[in-house]
Structure 1
Amino acid sequence: MPPPDSEPGRLAGTTLSRNAANIYRLGIKELWSLARDPMMLVLIAYTFTVSIYVAATAMPETLHKAPIAIVDEDRSPLSLRISTVFYPPRFDAPVMIPLRGIDTGMDAGDYTFVLDIPPEFQRDVLAGRSPAIQLNVDATRMSQAFTGSGYVQQMVLAEVTEFVQRYRGSTPLPVELALRMRFNPNLEQSWFGALMEIINNVTLLSIILTGAALIREREHGTIEHLLAMPVTPAEIMLAKVWSMGLVVLLAVAVALVLVVQGLLRIPIEGALTLFLAGAALHLFATTSIGIFMATQARSMPQFGMLAVLILLPLQLLSGNSTPRESMPELVQYIMLAAPTTHFVALGQAILYRGAGITVVWPQFLALAGIGAAFFTIALSRFRSTISQMA
């Protein structure tokens, strides 16, 4: 004779197996439905390829390989020293041109900057006469002209100051500041732009995909077919969560490997698997948000307007665009309830600083709790919506 409690245990195991099978099959249905939607496929492809490349390479404030020419009329050790401080990635290697080549080169657009070092420049500097160096700037290239002119002035003044101090044997300063740029030695803004664009797009696409999937079923009338099947609202929701989350997660992995590391040559310090694990927890929360928003909206236009109201605060106040420390304290406390705040923190820690699980476990724990809360709220709203339709 089997023990008395063996039958309930067997029934519970059978129920769990049936639930898992329903969630799997409903998720496959969602994937097939997505595969038959060409606009969504184009959106996914664009979001994790072209959008990331544009965000990394089209940042106007970045000074990257600015063309510069130098007219060295002094031909002294000091002028030679100034000529050697301009190098990639901020500037192209300087081109030495004659004085008569300034107007020709700038008219042709060959150079953004032309530095004219006058005759007897070194002798006048050492004599304390404060000679002038002429910097010609092509102001039609606004972003490079504004940022680059400041860089050129600082670099020339720094070299002249150091040269004069060494030549005259001046007393060194009591403190010397040694700068060490960690994680991004050349201050390349493209590194920040590409990875933050991925983090933004994970939130954006997961909410849109899950919300559109539910609204599409309502518009096509297939939600009534689901109600006639032996499936529960939780199974329907979980199917949408895992299927749409899996699509976004695979797109993130491809973007990190092919676009970020392959095409843009941006180094990633931490483990991709750890970042993808954090992204999966974040997707659990954002897909639940997408389903909740879809239960509030009656059509795709309404869902789009609602998404704007939700996505903008989630992205702008998460620490992605500006540090959270610079925001009002009330906003900082409120945004602790948003999954994007913790996802941005763990993404920056893993991708930029190479952090391990011992560093980012608080963010993982917060994402799990926030995801469970949003899933519970969305499930409650989803059940009430289905009961109204039944």
Structure 2
Amino acid sequence: MKILAAIARETGKPFSVEHIEIEEPRQDEILVKVVATGVCHTDLVVRDGMMPTPLPAVLGHEGAGIVEKVGAGISKVKPGDHVVMTFNSCGTCPSCKNHDISYCHEFFPRNFEGARSDGSSALSQDGTPITSNFFGQSSFASYAICNELNVVKVPADIKLELLGPLACGIQTGAGSVLNALQVSQGDSFVVFGTGSVGLSAIMAASAVSATTIIAVDMNDDRLALAKSLGATHTINPSKVNSTEEILKITGYGAKFALDTTGIPAVIKGAVESLAPKGTCGILGASGPDTEISFNETHFMSGGRRLMGIVEGESNPDVFIPELIRLYQAGKFPFDKLIKMYDFQDINQAVEDSESGVTIKPVVTMPAA
């Protein structure tokens, strides 16, 4: 079947919107008519050659759409169901069996290698294969193939255009707070970086009534938005020392901190801002060989903790519907982060994301 797709053909170059072919779904696969897809920083990291996903590739991993066809072995969804496509996993390793799906032992090959487990691709152009299966979906396209392990059925009465970002960025921020750190009522929480992930973390902390919620960023407009979404305090580290300010606000340091920047110096400051027995979560790194250093005595003597977090430690089948319920209850207004773009304008969406003009771009597919 002919589909429309945005192809990353060359490292660091704009996406090329072209017609390509997609295979029929196999027995264990699901064909989804994509309605909209979020644009995530990870898509751009791959486009820019910082991950070994082979180009040319169809990226996109925050897809939302309607099930078109299912293979004979599929029972989880049926044609006509509204779904979100999230990260992929194997379903059989010790982590998956323990419901720690985001720490699947095959997370990297299932999400970044750009092929089915047998090495084949569902996408091609004039007989030449194009890298597909990115995060088990490659949803920068009018149709995508996924499987039961990374598809989540969602209510049909919620606009699908909004729901794609719940698959990764927003799930990561909110899940880091609710699942990994387990911030709760009365806690103090500080987030470093107020992009879509950091702002989602703030909304989640507010939803569980954390008492002190501190946003740290050098963009005053983002800090103002953070305040409107639940932050009780904001800090611009270009104007003041963020660690000193956090200690001043909390009296002894924060119980929880979350770094969304991946910058070693920022992570060091986040650890320094922790109270005794406090925990800092980190969501990314600025490069594959990046190292973090901090004062051993301060870290050890206060019983402080540093933890890596992937995809918000979420079980998407449970957590994405939970986020939708919070949204419906008015406690998680993630729609305030989203700006819609026509699919043909995907490169403008990317540019606006990279410049900071747009927090969470979502590209919508043509109706036909």
* TM-score, scaled relative to structure 2: 0.24
Higher helix share: 1
Greater radius of gyration (CA)? 1
Higher strand share: 2
